[in-house]
Structure 1
């Protein structure tokens, strides 16, 4: 069950089994209580416009507390009232689809080849997302059950060492300009949400500003091609395997097909995070969980195949799916150590300090073949 919280201080229930029905049921229970059961599990929807329009710190703190509670209890929130216009998102999806329709040899010429750069095209089967940190184990999983998706990875354009791998303008008109504009817009959303997180953790609102300002983020365009259902029946097969994300936040833009599932941290069962038009799915990543001394959850999630279209008596074909993920990261030289408001004498830091680069590059190097 997906329950949307606080759009104009109301609580509305979206039931996964009937995605187009809305029951105006009021809940008196708290988010912490509801997530303990699969039947009442909910991902809060937060109207972020109220934070941007707030005229006092107290008004901001109200929304900040909702966001922090969502990351504490679920690790995910739906965000509405953000600054990204639907037309902008639609154009990104259009240009992404046009890119993946290019000939395979054209895309292969832009192949991802360096975990430090983390830029370029990743063909179907090359990646295997997982929670494992062991390169040999990941290689075995990749050989047995690779992720059935392709992606294009884009970093900040002004990096002093690494260059993005752009297709020729004649092959993909408007692609570069569209993605660079979207990258900047997503960074602005990230900065604002991190301000709210700082307030919710009893820190100055600008606490994270100089730790995320270099835009060491990653924009990932994802294409899940149609696939026969028989190919998804093997042990461990999935569109994208269960995993957590690496950075601070992930901003996910879904199409209408669906397939994203979030693990209930208490029951360990997966629940659908169904697409809600106009929203961004935002989840906390490993580094934000580590920064918060595990006050926040970096929650397992996966992508499963939506219902297939039957093509004969024994076989079906899944529809194609697109998504856009913006992986928000701290500056690569930022030291990630437990925040002062998240530690105490009775709750000391669980992790030694490390840099963003040490963590993310290590995970990427093990993830790809």
Structure 2
């Protein structure tokens, strides 16, 4: 139930928040005046200069001493998803980069070091299940939903990464694929515990979003409790520069995510870039120790009538290490993405507080399963 059924969402005023600037380099020009060269540095546009991913102290929401403090943090989170589509979440309750998540990255890396034949026994098979191992070249993430177009992109410039997809383990229809305990000791238990930890954080962030959108704080609780999520372990192996120099080639192509939120745990290597929606330029989302990168997905954008932004992003090669005068190699990169989704059969239709009176929703209703399975069917071989 809405706290105020007649109200609709209005962008909160922006108070000063810690931000990470994704400021583009200054353009440099030189001119000859009075017989001497002069250098002029100017920013390309104001929009580029103000495109920044905010750092949100989630402890102020989780441990708020007043309703006003809680609402202010909720508004900051909504503003981040409205302006950029991405936030850095700090003081989120998951130890990072200490034992818990560090252990997950280590166990993930150990899994990907298994022989290909062992990993291939766990191969991804069905978009409805969305579980299993995906080897290098099988996936080509893109905004296109056309299977033939994606096939051509995959053949021309496949994503240079491998992944392991894990869903809710109690699902009666679709089962996870697990390596033998002797091959990956503790892997299953560690990842299932982490799955639950991420879901619990997802619930809290969705409560803050509800509050920031002028809904009851628990509005989303019964729409996300089925844990219809996907835990994706990602490995980006070292790769020579020449293999990433082709047209359209990247470690992971430009795309938006499908669900409500994505929680990204990454190492210090970097490579994630976010598209400035105003200029179209991609700008780095530099890893910040202790923070989780969180972005809004397509279904949350549809739910909010695009009040919240599902922003394009990609993974590119970090700085190369020279191995000869003409060739360099990228370092390996590890990350874990937790793709948060609404319940499988949840109807995603315009939230009442996100529709200005007299206007119509931008999107027709769709269920979570319809949307996500449709995107997955076109993405994989």
Instruction: Give TM-score, length-normalised by structure 1.
Output: 0.91
**Residue 253 of structure 1 aligns to a residue in which SS?**
strand
- Which one of the candidate residues 84, 87, 98 is aligned to 1:74? 84
**Residue 266 of structure 1 aligns to a residue in which SS?**
coil
- Which one of the candidate residues 181, 191, 196 is aligned to 2:193? 181
Please say if 1:130 is aligned against 2:142: yes
1:226 paired residue number: 238
Q: Kindly tell me: are residues 238 and 329 of structure 1, through their superposed partners in 2, closer, same or farther at Cα, counting changes over 3 Å?
A: same
Q: How does 1:250-329 map to 2 (within 5 A)?
A: 250-329=262-341
Q: How does 1:1-369 map to 2 (within 5 A)?
A: 11=18, 37-86=47-96, 87-369=99-381
**Residue 283 of structure 2 aligns to a residue in which SS?**
strand
- Measured after TM superposition, the shift of residue 136 of structure 1 is 0.5
> CA–CA distance in 1 between the matches of 2:65 and 2:242?
56
Q: Is residue 259–residue 372 contact of structure 2 (8 Å, CA) maintained in 1?
A: yes
Moved over 2 A (4+): 9-18, 344-347
> CA–CA distance in 2 between the matches of 1:355 and 1:240?
27
Q: Is residue 16–residue 274 contact of structure 1 (8 Å, CA) maintained in 2?
A: no
> CA–CA distance in 1 between the matches of 2:138 and 2:107?
23
Aligned length: 347
> CA–CA distance in 2 between the matches of 1:92 and 1:278?
15
Q: Kindly tell me: are residues 299 and 110 of structure 1, through their superposed partners in 2, closer, same or farther at Cα, counting changes over 3 Å?
A: same
2:7 paired residue number: none
Instruction: Give TM-score, length-normalised by structure 2.
Output: 0.88
User: Deviation string for 1:283-337 (max 9, x for gaps)?
Assistant: 0000000000011110000000011111112211111101100000000100000
Q: Is residue 16–residue 272 contact of structure 1 (8 Å, CA) maintained in 2?
A: no
Q: Which runs of 5+ in 2 are unaligned?
A: 1-13, 26-44
- Measured after TM superposition, the shift of residue 17 of structure 1 is 8.9
- Measured after TM superposition, the shift of residue 344 of structure 1 is 2.8
> CA–CA distance in 2 between the matches of 1:228 and 1:217?
34
Q: Is residue 246–residue 285 contact of structure 1 (8 Å, CA) maintained in 2?
A: yes
Q: Is residue 238–residue 332 contact of structure 2 (8 Å, CA) maintained in 1?
A: yes
> CA–CA distance in 2 between the matches of 1:215 and 1:53?
25
Q: Kindly tell me: are residues 10 and 203 of structure 1, through their superposed partners in 2, closer, same or farther at Cα, counting changes over 3 Å?
A: closer
Kindly report the root-mean-square deviation, in angstroms, between the aligned alpha carbons of the 2 structures: 1.7
For the pair shown, the structure with the greater C-alpha radius of gyration is 2
Q: Is residue 17–residue 56 contact of structure 2 (8 Å, CA) maintained in 1?
A: no
